[in-house]
Chain A
Amino acid sequence: MPTVTYIEYNGTEHRIEVPVGKTVMQGAIDNNVPGIDADCGGECACATCHVYVDAAWLDKTGLPAPGSQEASMLSFAAVTQPDSRLSCQITVTPDLDGLVVRMPEGQH
């Protein structure tokens, strides 16, 4: 099962096995990783599952670019960076084994 590492804003790391087909957001919620709110439950409607994707993964095969809805939502998420993504829009694949994401200070 692919492993995703979630790093909280305070530096705490969580290495979580996330089944293929689940989203990075679901992996955090299912394992009670702090720092991802996911108000809308994965509908790309709220931008409260914002993460920064480790630079090594940005161009990685298997991590498609944000869709237009995600990009629009991200443009106003709290403290957006070029490596910002909404974790509900990243579906875990075998290629993403080892993915590292960092959480912002807050989601609202």
Chain B
Amino acid sequence: MSQADNHVVIAGAGHAGGSAAALLRQMGWTGAITLVGEEPLPPYQRPPLSKAWLKGEADADSLLLRPAAFYAGADIGLRLGTRVETINRAERTVTLSDGAALSYSHLILALGARPRRIPLAGADLAGVLELRSAADADALKAALGPGKRLAVIGGGYIGLEAAASARALGAEATIIERESRVLARVACPMLSHFFEAHHRTRGVEILTDAQVEALTGTSGHVTGVRLADGRQVDADAVLVGVGAVANEELARDAGLPCDNGIVVDGAARTGDPAIFAIGDCTRRPLPLYGDRLWRLESVPNALEQAKQAAAAICGKPAPAPEVPWFWSDQYDLRLQIAGIPFDAAEIVLRGDMALDSFALFHLADDGTVLAVEAVNAAQEFMGGRRIVAKRKRLNPAQIRDMSLTMQQLAA
């Protein structure tokens, strides 16, 4: 048997791709595995880049998903500093940017996403930064410190976490948000306002309903952000965090169905049975939500789809569907979200927002719990995950009643 009959090529060596390679070995794949990554580092964890890594609390080894020596030991070919450029589906080959060609029996696309770029005057000035890679984080870290001023365009999770880390490093931080509240696309208004209040208490300035007109600079380096209403935000560095775009071009060029993400099924298969796609680059069905197709940008999703693809390739039973979940750490606040609040009819508060420990239950009109957003409330998050998995119905009075434990609510 030639290698081409028994060779998994993984395009993309992030959290998804690195995990898929390891899981294939765990599940007994004995053929060749080649992991192709554009960045110079072996697979590493991105969540710390806006938190512990940015604050200088984590070392390079702890950032790596697995030790660098792991891949050779597991007979996983690691080709870094190069990327898959084309797919020939008829021949089952890929070409790499370094000129090499590889034959595959199975191809896993783990291409990730890239920061959305906004067409602004001055966007190419030095000191205008984004945050996706370890190199991005190092550039941001170098721009922060006591007395430095950071402007953040976009009040999403990346922007809020970076602002919190900037404050921890002694820098000033201003968040510039186009919508009327931060986290507008991903959280309910109560949660947005809770986080806004906390950031302001910690000295972060938050400008909402603020349209950016241009980035200003002198001698090629950014000096601030000019808003459409004429206000000027002075800054030594500007972080643009306005969402991410799925890296789907490679798949689209190969004729695979894409729709704001590479479209996959519940086993992470694309339109070609030999090609899988996992992680941030995909649009996937959500079995808990009527198989609605959705893009999930999260580590748990990357791991779940890595498991799906590895199990399918190894002929193992499909893993059980998981409840989508997310987390964010800012200051002494831990936000954990179980589920996704599609079409919620009602939001019910459990706990006391003034005590910084509470949960927001999002209910469908029949009382089914769709999602739970928990702040410093691990029991509510864990119980919520179970309740969402069971599609359990609860009434608001039960949820608010703190004399009922989460064990009782989840039973």
Cβ-neighbour of B66 out of A30, A43, A108 (below 8 A): A30
Tell me if A45 and B327 are in contact (CB < 8 A).
yes
A47 to B299, CA, bound (A): 14
Cβ-neighbour of B25 out of A32, A40, A46 (below 8 A): A32
A46 to B410, CA, bound (A): 17
Tell me if A45 and B336 are in contact (CB < 8 A).
yes
Q: 17 other contacts beyond A29-B65, A37-B303, A45-B334, with CB at 8 A cut-off?
A: A30-B67, A31-B70, A32-B66, A39-B300, A39-B303, A39-B325, A40-B47, A41-B48, A43-B329, A45-B327, A46-B325, A46-B327, A73-B378, A76-B382, A76-B406, A76-B410, A108-B322
Between-chain CB contacts (< 8 Å), 29 pairs: A30-B66, A32-B22, A34-B26, A37-B303, A39-B300, A39-B303, A39-B325, A40-B47, A41-B47, A41-B299, A43-B47, A46-B300, A46-B325, A46-B327, A47-B382, A69-B378, A72-B378, A72-B379, A72-B382, A73-B378, A73-B382, A75-B379, A75-B382, A75-B407, A76-B386, A76-B406, A77-B382, A106-B320, A108-B320
B74: interface (CB < 8 Å): yes
B45: interface (CB < 8 Å): yes
Shortest C-beta distance, B358 to chain A (Å), equals: 14
Tell me if B378 and A32 are in contact (CB < 8 A).
no
Shortest C-beta distance, B197 to chain A (Å), equals: 23
Q: Which residues of B contact A76 (CB under 8 A)?
A: 379, 382-383, 385-386, 406-407, 410
Tell me if B383 and A40 are in contact (CB < 8 A).
no
A29 to B15, CA, bound (A): 13
A34 to B314, CA, bound (A): 15
Q: Map CB proximity to A onto B353-390 as digits: 1 under 8 Å, 0 otherwise.
A: 00000000000000000000000001100110110000
Q: Which residues of B contact A29 (CB under 8 A)?
A: 65-66
Q: Which residues of A contact B26 (CB under 8 A)?
A: 32, 34
A73 to B379, CA, bound (A): 6
Tell me if A41 and B70 are in contact (CB < 8 A).
no
Tell me if A32 and B300 are in contact (CB < 8 A).
no
Q: Which residues of A contact B27 (CB under 8 A)?
A: 34
A31 to B22, CA, bound (A): 10
Q: Which residue of B lies closest to A76 (CB)?
A: B382
Q: Which residue of A lies closest to B321 (CB)?
A: A108
A34 to B242, CA, bound (A): 37
Tell me if A40 and B382 are in contact (CB < 8 A).
no
Q: Map CB proximity to B onto A57-84 as digits: 1 under 8 Å, 0 otherwise.
A: 0000000000001001101110000000
Q: Which residue of A lies closest to B303 (CB)?
A: A39
Q: Which residues of A contact B320 (CB under 8 A)?
A: 106, 108
Q: Which residue of B lies closest to A37 (CB)?
A: B303
Q: Which residues of A contact B378 (CB under 8 A)?
A: 69, 72-73
Shortest C-beta distance, B386 to chain A (Å), equals: 6
A31 to B386, CA, bound (A): 30
A72 to B322, CA, bound (A): 20
Q: Which residues of A contact B410 (CB under 8 A)?
A: 76
